[in-house]
Chains A and B, each alone.
Chain A
């Protein structure tokens, strides 16, 4: 007989109520958004009852406006730095063995290797062994047991490169650090709900709603902000000046036509900074004050103590900001960077130094800026289209199936509430194609109801009485409903896995829409029908 157990009824009602309550905040979007902002800022929040859920559907960039960047981390950049950092260590080891190895000299080579020529080629085996002694085990799960460097002999040259396992481990670290630093920089600027995600092995997706343009975003995250303090060996007039191995020629930031010859190995780097603040120098010009951590302070102190009277360079991203002469021993570990800054530049530089340097440069593969007004227009158009689609479908259903159509219509409203409730609960993002997905769901959600109603009509011709017909209708339509929706769901899953951005947003709404529409068609409409049937006890029904 037509019957639904009490516990099932209670469960269905609970789901309906839960869906409505979770969807409720979206009906008061601006109000709840203000409330959430106030809560996040720790201020007394008003305008929304705190016992009600306050999760909202996130609006995608295409609806809210904002900037989107897809960046690729130049992971190879790091190899060069690693090799440069290794040189002093290798030099010391080989110098200690000068009696057998003879004189050593650093040769030019690819950026990710060190080429060292050895005077006494017979002792190559020993040199290789010595340098190999510097190798350390790779610190990663996949590369366990491997060493970080590989040493081989090529004629009278010793070639040192990073091992594959170490390269992988380094890449992983580089991308993670970049992610962390980008996050810190964007947090420093303080925008609402940025999305910063890793994509694939070496890409980072950054979405910041409300920011004016992708170029502004690039100014904040595109700068590497590698700060180094390097000894100055001399000045040059052109970038092509021949220098000794281990030295480099870098241009001055604000003096046209001035180059400096610097030792490549830095005394201290920006990594050892603990703080940086915008300030002014004694002449009232914008500057940045900084403070080193104890290790950095000691290195800086030792170096300045030993090199009074000689110049050293403050280098930012391969440009020399300034090259002052060391006047005295600087023991405290704090200092000031002066240059031709504007106030804005010094503030920005302080932010960048505080957040830390990116370990490697970024290439931007994709940039999108969507103006907030375009987003607002899209939301407006989407709202109107949804409302009209709703009215059309509801009217059509009611005309076609009468009372049963009315039940299906109520279930459809519950369905849309459930979609919004679920989207809010999982913090999904609603995009413009996502709105299209909802409209499509409105059209398709009635399908399961239609299947059942058509089946009931057919069963009415043969079955004994309306109750039996309704029961058989639900029973026999089920396999078609399930098969049809599982195949569509497969498509939604594939879209989610393969898609990105707005397409992914669409797949989420489509997938959720399938689940909720099957639920509402099989359970909610049936519950209404059964409740009506129990009350009215009709002898005949018309579907």
Chain B
């Protein structure tokens, strides 16, 4: 007896609701961009400079007290948040303190960190700093630039490779799907104000890698079927291809999601944002391979006829049968 998530043979019409699905994608993308423009991203220190301190103490964190203790130090914008994780014991309390980049300093000096520690130990002697990270404005500016270049470069390289291996319509479809995934991921990071840092960029690139993987598998089948069924309408060939690969799509996304959910729950809070981005990206990536990439290719049309043009076509012998 086998576990089957998808019946052995399916005949789902993936284009039946294409207006709805494609429309939903477009609406979500617009929402994401609006959200990004209005609320902005919660950039980590990698991208805007400053210092983050991770504290650990035995008694519960009271954000208000921390804030009052640090306020007299005149460090400018300070944000404090408590961190929760199922793996923490009862006497294991963690908070993240973020301090803005200090004027005239590239990175926050050790003395500043020491004064913050002293101020916090006044209210809770058990407090310790388990990590202190400080990035100067010079580097953060460069990092943000490099990150954008990396994402752009990855898309361009994939566009080129798919164009080389398939037709240009496929590569436009694939990159449109990638664009969709990246925008939606940025959108959810903005909507939930999850910290956006270098690791998130790595996650975005991973999503690009996974989503393209998924899209390519469907395209590969489509290419094969286009040769096999030369006269079948394009939409039907596409439906056939997606149905044939559906079992694999669900299996692979399923195993990957299983592994990621394990990591999301048990992997600790340090990489939770990173893992969340990848998990989200795999869900939208799977969706976009089926519903976005294909629609674009359908809309652009594909060259169907790979046979050589007939010798006589168009000349005076065209209509003469011997």
Taking a contact as CB atoms under 8 Å apart, the answer to whether B259 and A364 are in contact is no
A402 on interface, CB distance cutoff 8 Å: yes
Interface string of A357-387 (1 = CB under 8 A from B): 0000001111111110110011001101110
CA distance A400 to B251 in the complex (A): 9
Residue picked from B56, B262, B270, most chain A C-beta under 10 Å: B262
Taking a contact as CB atoms under 8 Å apart, the answer to whether A70 and B209 are in contact is no
Given A443-B258, A488-B213, answer yes or no on A366-B136 (Cβ-Cβ < 8 Å): yes
A351 on interface, CB distance cutoff 8 Å: no
Taking a contact as CB atoms under 8 Å apart, the answer to whether A436 and B255 are in contact is no
Given A70-B139, A439-B260, A447-B252, answer yes or no on A480-B110 (Cβ-Cβ < 8 Å): no
B247 on interface, CB distance cutoff 8 Å: yes
Given A364-B136, A487-B161, answer yes or no on A374-B107 (Cβ-Cβ < 8 Å): no
Q: Which residues of B contact A364 (CB under 8 A)?
A: 106-107, 136
**Interchain nearest-CB distance for A485 vs B (Å):** 7
Taking a contact as CB atoms under 8 Å apart, the answer to whether A381 and B268 are in contact is yes
Partner of A443, one of B147, B201, B260: B260
Q: Which residues of B contact A377 (CB under 8 A)?
A: 87, 268
CA distance A367 to B51 in the complex (A): 9
A281 on interface, CB distance cutoff 8 Å: no
Taking a contact as CB atoms under 8 Å apart, the answer to whether B256 and A443 are in contact is yes
**Interchain nearest-CB distance for B307 vs A (Å):** 21
**Interchain nearest-CB distance for A325 vs B (Å):** 37
Taking a contact as CB atoms under 8 Å apart, the answer to whether A369 and B135 are in contact is no
Partner of B251, one of A432, A433, A454, A487: A454
State which size class the interface on A falls in.
Answer: 35 or more
Q: Which residues of B contact A492 (CB under 8 A)?
A: 209
Closest chain B residue, CB of each to CB of A493: B157
**Interchain nearest-CB distance for B237 vs A (Å):** 16
A243 on interface, CB distance cutoff 8 Å: no
Q: Which residues of B contact A476 (CB under 8 A)?
A: 224
Partner of A494, one of B129, B153, B165, B220: B153
Given A373-B130, A385-B262, A503-B202, answer yes or no on A487-B135 (Cβ-Cβ < 8 Å): no
Taking a contact as CB atoms under 8 Å apart, the answer to whether B270 and A62 are in contact is yes
**Interchain nearest-CB distance for A494 vs B (Å):** 5
Taking a contact as CB atoms under 8 Å apart, the answer to whether B252 and A446 are in contact is yes
CA distance A435 to B274 in the complex (A): 12
CA distance A397 to B2 in the complex (A): 10
CA distance A458 to B268 in the complex (A): 41
Taking a contact as CB atoms under 8 Å apart, the answer to whether A454 and B206 are in contact is no
Taking a contact as CB atoms under 8 Å apart, the answer to whether A397 and B133 are in contact is no
CA distance A218 to B267 in the complex (A): 32
Interface string of B156-178 (1 = CB under 8 A from A): 01100110010000000000000
A220 on interface, CB distance cutoff 8 Å: no
CA distance A334 to B143 in the complex (A): 49
Taking a contact as CB atoms under 8 Å apart, the answer to whether A484 and B2 are in contact is no
CA distance A6 to B5 in the complex (A): 38
* 9-residue interface stretch from A137-145, A231-239, A292-300, A388-396: A388-396
Taking a contact as CB atoms under 8 Å apart, the answer to whether A484 and B213 are in contact is yes
Q: Which residues of B contact A454 (CB under 8 A)?
A: 245, 247-248, 251
Partner of B252, one of A378, A450, A507: A450
Closest chain A residue, CB of each to CB of B252: A447
B266 on interface, CB distance cutoff 8 Å: yes
Taking a contact as CB atoms under 8 Å apart, the answer to whether A491 and B206 are in contact is yes
Tally of A-B Cβ pairs under 8 angstroms: 233
Taking a contact as CB atoms under 8 Å apart, the answer to whether B212 and A432 are in contact is no
**Interchain nearest-CB distance for B122 vs A (Å):** 21
Closest chain A residue, CB of each to CB of B147: A498
Closest chain B residue, CB of each to CB of A372: B130
Taking a contact as CB atoms under 8 Å apart, the answer to whether A368 and B205 are in contact is no
**Interchain nearest-CB distance for A478 vs B (Å):** 10
Taking a contact as CB atoms under 8 Å apart, the answer to whether B267 and A367 are in contact is no
Closest chain A residue, CB of each to CB of B132: A369
A486 on interface, CB distance cutoff 8 Å: yes
**Interchain nearest-CB distance for B279 vs A (Å):** 10
CA distance A213 to B129 in the complex (A): 10
Taking a contact as CB atoms under 8 Å apart, the answer to whether B259 and A440 are in contact is yes
Interface string of A332-370 (1 = CB under 8 A from B): 000000000000000000000000000000011111111
Q: Which residues of B contact A484 (CB under 8 A)?
A: 212-214, 216-217, 220
A88 on interface, CB distance cutoff 8 Å: no
CA distance A62 to B271 in the complex (A): 11
Partner of A371, one of B131, B154, B157: B131
Interface string of B250-294 (1 = CB under 8 A from A): 011011111110110111101100110010000000000000000
Which positions in A face B, CB cutoff 8 Å?
A: 62, 70, 72, 213-215, 218, 363-371, 373-374, 377-378, 381-382, 384-386, 388-389, 392-393, 396-397, 399-402, 432-433, 435-436, 439-440, 442-444, 446-447, 450-451, 454, 457-458, 476, 479-480, 483-488, 490-492, 494-495, 498-503, 506-507, 510, 542
Which positions in B face A, CB cutoff 8 Å?
A: 2-5, 8, 54, 56, 87, 106-110, 113-114, 128-136, 138-139, 146-147, 149-150, 153-154, 157-158, 161-162, 165, 198-199, 201-202, 205-206, 208-210, 212-214, 216-217, 220-221, 224, 244-245, 247-248, 251-252, 254-260, 262-263, 265-268, 270-271, 274-275, 278
> 26 A-B pairs, CB-CB below 8 angstroms?
A70-B139, A364-B106, A366-B135, A367-B107, A368-B131, A374-B131, A378-B270, A381-B268, A384-B266, A388-B262, A389-B259, A392-B258, A393-B259, A396-B255, A433-B271, A439-B259, A440-B256, A440-B259, A490-B154, A491-B158, A491-B206, A495-B150, A502-B199, A503-B198, A506-B202, A542-B2
8 shortest A-B CB distances, which residue pairs? A215-B110, A443-B256, A381-B268, A443-B259, A491-B209, A389-B259, A399-B3, A488-B209
